[in-house]
Structure 1
């Protein structure tokens, strides 16, 4: 892929935050309660990016997230160079977002995800524990009535997250965030983000979530529940959220999910960049691995090629399909004969998620 990205793509980070839910799951049961964890989801206001949609918390990376003082702060709590190097497995294929100085990028983007989650929801994923005492599984939360004041302050000045951490003698719990995927917004969208998705687990659900003006509704639902609501058009999901929720549903046990996420976190994977093709009756949004996905992608080309076939006519038998199909009456994720690199194999699926 020709990676010449104009400045209109902004680096960003998103956090998939899971917490224990219904612990009584039955293997191979497709019921919506058959998942023992819930995911934190928020609804965006009508005037925000991705308006009226249900998304994970997150936002753009700021210069303050890359401040070298973070490394010094983390070292006070016992973290060494080997701990930073553990975030990236040397020799693994590099996810494009981490190509330039991968360790620094892993640290900064995790701090961005933690900062944005705090700004939007008041959940401060930080720890005061020395490295030797911190949990190897669950993310830590700092709770305090005065955090509402700091939530507004950090929202106005991202650099104040460092001031907050010094004040509370804590640090961003970056090792509890596991790298999950990398999505790049299609060129045709007016606002474009190069987004790292991270996943973290909370041992218990926070009692209070203090959402700001960027959030109009907050819910904790398991992946199957939110996908069912999407299928009924009760909620609006954009492709990255629908795709990742479906992928999560293949690991219905939270301990299994976190073990898998931690194991694959330092490995690279494919950049998920949808390539658009106009068919006779709708639009194809091709993802890497689809037999029609181009071998070389120029990310700066804004024209959409056309083919003289219907969408169904492009579904070649036995060919790999990895795409989203959009017509006036439907929007579906289609996977056939495709196996991702370093991630969950979802086998063959057809999943609807209406766009209205």
Structure 2
């Protein structure tokens, strides 16, 4: 069993929840994406893109990966789709085809909204290049403000959703004592050539590319804050020696069984997450 020390603010909330016999709120389906690229310094290995959630956001101050909740439109859209179909995705994610499609669409939509990276192309074999220009930014803003839908954006740009660029990795559920809870599916994607993440969402106050092992070392040193799902996911992805090993590792993972940290209080009164 793995144990993580809980920040006192979270531990205090958990104590109140259990003392008052609180009722868990339903967990909203969500998706998050680990964007990976070769190490920019030329060393062997790879880096992952991380954001620090702004203080005004849920889990503010914590480093995480781009992502967010599934929107109703994610399950209703009809679009050109490359890669495994919703039924196959459902088998990997432990969901019916409709909800599985919604999770994949949410992953692609959120990484475009939050990081300006578009996992789409003009056909089933290509990926769009640089999407940082003014016209693309207007399209992204329209998507963020819900003036247009993700399917409409792709259709207007004559693009195909490249679901084959996403690899399912894991599934985490927010502990039952949290007032806002998410049932989050973690995906991995290699940064498309010619694209670069941009801090454009307004939901982060810092972004960085960092090697997974270095992020974990900074966490252990108390330099950066992360919640257990982020720490565990970085630990798992760090076991891959290079980017070539990531698809093979993802292929054998159970990405549909949920993991939910439990809260426990030690004899000294400190709170801990147990896995």
Q: What do residues 220-241 of structure 1 show as CA deviations (whole Å, max 9, x unaligned)?
A: 1110111122122221111111
Greater C-alpha radius of gyration: 1
- How many pairs are equivalent? 250
Is the Cα–Cα contact under 8 Å of residues 167 and 187 in structure 2 kept in the other structure?
A: yes
Query: Which structure dedicates a bigger proportion of its chain to helix?
Result: 2
Q: What do residues 145-204 of structure 1 show as CA deviations (whole Å, max 9, x unaligned)?
A: 111111111111175222211111012221211111111101111211111111111254
Is the Cα–Cα contact under 8 Å of residues 126 and 142 in structure 1 kept in the other structure?
A: no
Change (3 A) 1:41 1:158: farther
Change (3 A) 1:252 1:61: same
Which 4+ stretches in 1 moved above 4 angstroms? Answer: 139-142
> Alpha-carbon deviation of 1:143?
2.2
Give the 5 Å matches for 1:106-145: 106-129=100-123, 131=124, 133-134=125-126, 143=131, 145=133
Give the 5 Å matches for 1:286-301: 286-287=274-275
Q: What do residues 317-346 of structure 1 show as CA deviations (whole Å, max 9, x unaligned)?
A: xxxxxxxxxxxxxxxxxxxxxxxxxxxxxx
Equivalent in the alignment of 2:28? 10
2-structure distance, mates of 1:259, 1:87: 17
> Alpha-carbon deviation of 1:218?
1.5
Equivalent in the alignment of 2:178? 189
Change (3 A) 1:64 1:169: same
Where do 5+ consecutive residues of structure 1 fail to align?
26-35, 288-356
* RMSD of Structure 2 on Structure 1 (CA): 2.5
Q: Secondary structure of the residue that 1:186 maps to in structure 2?
A: coil
1-structure distance, mates of 2:197, 2:169: 26
> Which deviates the most, 276-285 or 7-16?
276-285
Of residues 30, 52, 65, the one that matches 1:56 is 65
Higher relative contact order (CA 8 A, sep 6+): 2
Where do 5+ consecutive residues of structure 2 fail to align?
1-22
> Alpha-carbon deviation of 1:140?
5.6
Q: Secondary structure of the residue that 1:175 maps to in structure 2?
A: helix
Residues 1:238 and 2:202 are matched in the alignment: no
> Alpha-carbon deviation of 1:40?
0.7
1-structure distance, mates of 2:219, 2:255: 30
Equivalent in the alignment of 1:155? 144
TM-score by length of 2: 0.81
